[in-house]
Amino acid sequence: MDSITRWFTEARFGMFVHFGLYSVPAGLWKGETMGRGPYSEWIQLQANWPHGIEGAEYQALARDFNPTQFDAEQWISELVNAGMRYLVITSKHHDGFALWPSKVSKFNAVDATPFGRDILGELKAACDRHGVKFGLYYSHWLDWEHPGGGRAHESEEFLPGNLWTTQPSDEQFETYWQGKCLPQIAELCDVYKPVLFWFDTWGENSVPYITERRMDDLICLIKERNPTCLINSRIGTWGHSKGDAVVDFLSMGDNAFPERSIEQPWETSGTLNESWGYHQLDFGWKSASELVENIIRTTSNGGNYQLNVGPTGEGCFQPAAIRRLREIGAWMAANGTSIYGAGYAGLPDQKWGRITAVATENGRRLYLQVTKRPASGEVTVAGLTKLPKLARDLETNEVASIFQLSVGEDLVVSLPRHGSADSLPQVVVLHF
C-alpha cells in the first residue's frame, strides 16, 4: 500500500460537512420550497423554479450568515465520539462562498458576513487538538459567483432558461481558474495544510473545462506544497489520459456503493438524510443500523465511508443527526477493531452479512458482521474451511461454538446470544 494513503485506509470512517450560505434558507426561499432536487446547497438554481436566484440577491444572503452557535470543539467532539477519524468540510461549494478569510475573494465568511470568524481556522485548531485529520472539499469546476466559473449543465433537472445553466467560454473559465480557483487552493494549502482535497465533478459535463492541463496544474500546485496531501478522483479523472492513476483515492457517486472490492484506496460519501446542506423539510433520515451497515459495506470491500452532516444556519448539528452519530459511536466503541485498518476478506458473499479482515503478525483475524441474524442463530461461513482457534462475540466476549458438518466443509458458527435483541449488527471475531 502506498504509504501516503495508509492513514486514510486505516481510518475507514470520516465526517463530511456541507455548511455555507445555503444553510440559512435551508431549502425554503421566500416561504416557497425550492424546486426539484433534494439538495439545499443547490437553492441558487432551484428556487423560483425554473429560473433560480439572481447572483446579487443570492450573495446578499451573506448579510444573514451569522452562525453564532457554531462551536468547532463541539463539532469535532461529536465526530470523535462517532468513531470518525477525519473531517472533510466544504471550504467553498458551488455558490463560490468561502468559509475562510480568503485574500483572493471578499465573498467569504469573514469579509462578507456579520459573523466575521474564520470557520476553517477554528475547525483546523479543534482537529489538531483531537488528533483528527483535516481535509477540504473545494468546488473547482462550478462557481456561480465568479463570472467565469462553471454553471450547471442543462438537463432534465436544470432546464434551459435557468439563470445558471449558460456555460462560460473557455477563455472566461480560464480567468476564473487563474484568478480564483488556483490562488484559493494555494492559500488553503499554505494556511490550513489539509491532509486531503475532495474535488467535485460528476458525469462528463465538466470535461471541456477540467481539462488534462488544468487538472495537472492543480495537482502540481498541491503536491509541490505538500507531497502527502491526498487528492480524489472527482477532480475529473475521466477526462485525463492517465485516468485514476493521477490521483490518490477514488470517490464513488453520492451514496453509491460498489458491488465488489476495489484495490485502489476509495470512499463512498453518503448523506444522513437526503440533502447534503441543512434542509428544513428533509425528513428522510436513515436509521443508525443502516448507517452502521454502510460502514461495514465499505470496509468489507476495502473502502471508506464519509458520512455527511449539514449543520443549521445557526451552526448546530440537528438533534436527529446527533442521535444517529452517537448510536454509531456506541457501536464503533465496541466494534471498531473490526473496522479500523480492516478490509476485504477475499471470501464469497455471505447470506447473513459481510466479513472484514485484519492482518496480524501470524496471519489474520476475520470479523463476521452479522447484519441479518438467522432465526436458527447459526451462520455458515461460505468459503471458509479452516477451523479457527477461537470465535467470540466482539462486544461481550461470549465464546461461540464452531463446527463443520464434515471435514473440508464450510464452517458453521453458532452465534452467541448477544445479537438476538439488538438492531445493530453483531460482530463475531474468528482468531486463527
Give SS3 for 194.
coil
Q: Which residues contact 217 (CB under 8 A, 6 or more apart)?
A: 182
Question: If we measure between CA atoms, which residue out of 113, 38, 31 comes closest to residue 278?
Answer: 38
Which residue lies nearer to ligand FHN by CB, 44 or 184? 44
Cβ 67 to ligand FHN shortest distance, Å: 19
Of 44, 21, 37, 41, which Cα lies nearest the Cα of 162? 44
Residue 243 CA to residue 129 CA, distance in Å, equals 37
x/- letters, 237..256, toward ligand FHN (CB under 6 A):
-----------------x--
Nearest approach, Cβ of 41 to ligand FHN (angstroms)?
5
- Identify which of residues 201 and 369 has a Cβ nearer to ligand FHN in the complex: 201
**Alpha-carbon span 158 to 154, nearest angstrom:** 5
Question: Count of H helices and E strands in the chain?
Answer: 10, 18
Residue 314, SS3? coil
Based on the shown chain and the rule CB under 6 A, indicate whether residue 111 belongs to the binding site for ligand FHN: no
Among 95, 118, 200, 293, binds ligand FHN (CB under 6 A): 200
Nearest distance, CB of residue 130 and ligand FHN, angstroms: 24
Half-sphere exposure of 40 (CA within 13 A, CB side): 31
Toward ligand FHN, which CB reaches closer, 253 or 363? 253
C-alpha cell read off for 419: 445479537
**Nearest distance, CB of residue 55 and ligand FHN, angstroms:** 18
Minimum gap (Å) between residue 92 Cβ and ligand FHN:
11
Q: Does 269 bind ligand FHN (CB under 6 A)?
A: yes
For residue 128, give the H/E element and its range.
Answer: helix 119-130
Residue 274 or 398: the one with the smaller Cβ distance to ligand FHN is: 274
Residue 202 interacts with ligand FHN (CB under 6 A)?
yes
Give the total of residues touching ligand FHN (CB under 6 A): 7
Minimum gap (Å) between residue 257 Cβ and ligand FHN: 14
Phi, psi (rounded to 5 degrees) for 5: -95, 0
Q: Is the peptide bond before 348 cis (omega within 30 degrees of 0)?
A: no
Among 19, 22, 39, 70, binds ligand FHN (CB under 6 A): 39
What is the contact surface with ligand FHN in residues (CB under 6 A)?
39, 41, 200, 202, 254, 269, 276
